Structure 1
Amino acid sequence: MKLGKTVLYSGLITFSKTLAGFISTKVVASVVGPSGVAVIGAFINFIAIVLAFGNGAINSGIVKYTAEYKNNIQKSFKLFNTALFISVVFSAICCVILLIFSNYFSILIFTTDKYSYIIRCLGFFLLFYALNTLLISILNGRGLINVYTVVNTIGTFVSVLLTCALVYFYKVEGALYALIFSQSLMFIFTFYFFFKKTEFPKKNFKLTYNKIIGKNLFSYSFMAIITALTMPVSQIIIRNLIIESEGTDQAGIWQGIMRISDAYLLVIVTALGTYYLPKLSSLKDNGLIRKEILQGYKYVIPVTFVGLVTVFFLRNFIIRLLYTESFISMSELFLWQLIGDLFKMTSYILAYVMLAKAQVKLYIATEIIFSALYVFLSYIFISFYGVVGTTYAFALNYFLYMIILFIYFRKLLKIKNAEFKF
């Protein structure tokens, strides 16, 4: 799969997700307002954390080894079955934990125990999240981006219909339920198209565990768990800092700019995830790795720059289109948020190199350090500048992250056939 073709398919996925996101965001913002958006944002962060533990945090490992075992069907099914076993066991364990500690998690995430039943519901449906992620990771590793595109497009629009209906009838609670049920619906479509469009027979999928492959998959778990914890947890902390300093509505304004940022960067992030991780995992020659990195920058930097400039000049239109007049103060947050996005995407290509080559120590160190720095900078800047200070912290944090990665990979980037040990 070529990068250009991957970007095209990623663009289709992004278009469908963005359009669906526009509709659901508008409905949610209109019905529940900024404070409701803040609550929903907190739950999205919590789901990201739970999902990582719910399948053993082996997604990246599945993608990597699916790509490596592409020509060995026997080894591939040992991988798939081991991943299935891990997903079922870990989702069951997490389900029990969510059921027992639902009140505690509700207070931790929402500062109230009134949403404990939402936490329990998430526990019951967690297995569908895990199985959907497993199948998607296999499609990704096999380079079946066309099937991946179909699954995501259909599932996305069904999810947005569910979201609109539940929000209309049940307000904030409806939006939270929609986040849970939509993944279950996505699994139905993924399951159907996976077995319809691939050569994998259902009977070959069994709950068996291979120790060697399991060990290889779990070698990626630590990195994935750190990723799943650092960014969502840092966002939860920052959201609570904003609530304490500026109020819940301002936290909703900040959540709104984060959602816009994620939406327009989705095409790049999707392309990197579907192309670079399996591609870089399969490359052994440093010259070829360097070539892929430079080719990535050839696409990523121009696309990101055009996107952020467009978003900046259309920011007031975008706010009114996606949200309501009560969100118009968000306009002040765009400049430094978008600059931070440019630094973020510039860094991400090298971050994928760390992930693909299992550079565990560097990856974990940078994730923890820069997530903590993001929180610290936000605390400082919020105290001086209010909610706009979070965007200063975001930009500065990713600028420093980008510089550190450039320094570390400088030999690989500058010298054509560099002796760089992974």
Structure 2
Amino acid sequence: MRIPDFIRGNLLLKMTSLNAGVIGFRLIISALIQRLLSEYVGPVGQYKIGQFRSLSSLLMSITSLGTFNGIVKYIAEYKEDEIKLQRLFSSVFVFQIIGVSITSSVLLLFSSEISSYLFSSTEYSYLIKFTAVIVPFIAVQRVFNGVINGLSDYKKYAKIDLISYLVSAVLTVIFLFQYNLDGVLFAIAITPVVQVSVMLFFFYKVLREYIQFKSLKLQAPMAKALLAFTVMSFVSSILLPIVEIDIRSMLDEKLSGRDAGIWTNMTFISQNYMVFSSSIFTLYVIPKFAGIYNSENFKNEVIAIYKTLLPLFAGGMILVFLFRNVIIELIYPGQIEMAPLFKWQLLGDFIRLASLVLVHQFLAKRLVFNFIFTEIMSLALFYGFAYYFTGIYGIEGVVMAHFLRYVVYFFIVSFLVFRYFKKQNRIS
């Protein structure tokens, strides 16, 4: 099939069109799995699945000490410089040893406490201990993923992403039928093993070219550079899952486990279409912004990204909103309380997308203070608004908080990004 000329000449559109097919297929599979989960484990079970997924997201950052975005940035910059690459991966290797050692130890020693925090029961302490064994795979998967994103090899990335997802989906269904909720949680725990295996199968030659495994040393010559990303990752990738876990627990306590599950399901729908943008950010936006040093070129690039992404997302979100009752009936039958949540979630996600394009300038240029300030402000607003509005509007208050948080976030981020360029113009 011939690719239209207007797509062939636009790298972002090529990535977007390829991603659309992959994400579309994933959405269909995801919808089928969510329907099965709704029938077999119900909203309370889905609330527990959400808690464990948040823990998995947390571990992705902790195990690699938040070096993912640093790997993406420096691979994009140093891919032709073997010496600098060796320094980069020796540093990452040290960070991984530290991250894996700390994480595994904490999970093993405090498995009962972590289970109680997540599920209000020590019933799942065995699962936390099992996750401690899987931790090295989580760290390795994160690093390999950073290499692929830094190279902007979007075709191989799409293939790896799709195959990993399909294998994980099959395992989830098998374990669901065999062991119910426990089986699903176990399938989530072993997903990093699946992802690493698929990456090695399809991408081993390229990984070996950029990561000289035999030459890795227990040295960290780029520690200072990577620490900036560790700090930024701590704020965005570690505090966010903690806030989500606390909000689910708050909904369970103030309202019910069913309400916590319904909000979890709403966020899961959101995550499925937002994953479309996250791969674009790491594959295209960070490498692109890393090479832009003046405000005019930055504005032009942002406008080009907005022109490409925002209409596509707006169209998709309008369709999701119009067919929200059909989506609920097909995927989450009986959970009619979810219908009023869509408008706030979709509006918030649209503004979030526009904001995240700008925020990736902080990552591309290592603007640590700006990134930390905006992320902490965003999380604090979400946490505060969620607690306040839930007391007034019930479960709808959480998605209202999501929307309001990103309205404020967008304006603050825009101000800081363009203030950065004004400062650069004065210096030059």
Cα displacement (A) at 1:221: 0.4
Match of 2:387 among 370, 373, 379: 379
Match of 1:332 among 335, 340, 345: 340
Are the counterparts in 1 of residues 87 and 221 from structure 2 also a CA contact under 8 Å?
no
Are the counterparts in 1 of residues 370 and 416 from structure 2 also a CA contact under 8 Å?
no
**Aligned partners of 1:203 and 1:401: how far apart in 2?**
41
Size of the aligned set, in residue pairs, is 419
Change (3 A) 1:193 1:398: same
Are the counterparts in 2 of residues 374 and 394 from structure 1 also a CA contact under 8 Å?
yes
Q: Secondary structure at the match of 1:212?
A: coil
Cα displacement (A) at 1:260: 0.8
Match of 1:358 among 333, 356, 366: 366
Q: Does 1:115 align with 2:124?
A: yes
Are the counterparts in 2 of residues 230 and 367 from structure 1 also a CA contact under 8 Å?
no
Q: Does 1:405 align with 2:413?
A: yes
Match of 2:30 among 21, 27, 46: 21
Equivalences for 1:254-265 in 2 at 5 Å?
254-265=263-274
Partner of 2:425: 419
TM-score (norm 2): 0.92
Change (3 A) 1:244 1:403: same
TM-score (norm 1): 0.94
Match of 2:193 among 177, 184, 191: 184
Worse-superposed segment, 368-377 or 266-275: 266-275
Partner of 1:234: 243
Cα displacement (A) at 1:202: 7.2
Q: Which runs of 5+ in 2 are unaligned?
A: 1-9
Are the counterparts in 2 of residues 85 and 209 from structure 1 also a CA contact under 8 Å?
yes
Equivalences for 1:202-221 in 2 at 5 Å?
204-221=213-230
Cα displacement (A) at 1:205: 4.5
Partner of 2:260: 251
Are the counterparts in 2 of residues 35 and 249 from structure 1 also a CA contact under 8 Å?
yes
Cα displacement (A) at 1:227: 0.7
Are the counterparts in 1 of residues 150 and 282 from structure 2 also a CA contact under 8 Å?
no
Are the counterparts in 2 of residues 67 and 282 from structure 1 also a CA contact under 8 Å?
no
Q: Which amino acid aligns with 1:382?
A: T
**Aligned partners of 2:274 and 2:49: how far apart in 1?**
20
Match of 1:39 among 29, 40, 48: 48
**Aligned partners of 1:278 and 1:205: how far apart in 2?**
28
**Aligned partners of 2:331 and 2:376: how far apart in 1?**
33
Q: Secondary structure at the match of 2:340?
A: helix
Are the counterparts in 1 of residues 85 and 211 from structure 2 also a CA contact under 8 Å?
no
**Aligned partners of 2:181 and 2:151: how far apart in 1?**
38
Q: Map Cα deviations across residues 234-289 of structure 1 (whole Å, 9 max, x no partner).
A: 21121112111210001111111111111122212221222101221233343322
**Aligned partners of 2:220 and 2:350: how far apart in 1?**
42
Q: Which runs of 5+ in 1 are unaligned?
A: none
Are the counterparts in 2 of residues 411 and 420 from structure 1 also a CA contact under 8 Å?
no
Change (3 A) 1:336 1:405: same
Q: Which amino acid aligns with 1:320?
A: E
Change (3 A) 1:202 1:45: closer
Are the counterparts in 1 of residues 115 and 121 from structure 2 also a CA contact under 8 Å?
yes
Q: Secondary structure at the match of 1:324?
A: coil
**Aligned partners of 2:207 and 2:59: how far apart in 1?**
29
Match of 1:104 among 104, 107, 113: 113
Q: Map Cα deviations across residues 82-127 of structure 1 (whole Å, 9 max, x no partner).
A: 3234224421321111101101111111111111111111110011
Cα RMSD between the aligned structures? 2.2
Q: Map Cα deviations across residues 358-394 of structure 1 (whole Å, 9 max, x no partner).
A: 1111111111122111111111111111101111111
**Aligned partners of 1:289 and 1:303: how far apart in 2?**
21
Are the counterparts in 1 of residues 89 and 211 from structure 2 also a CA contact under 8 Å?
no
Partner of 1:323: 332
Q: Which amino acid aligns with 2:382?
A: Y
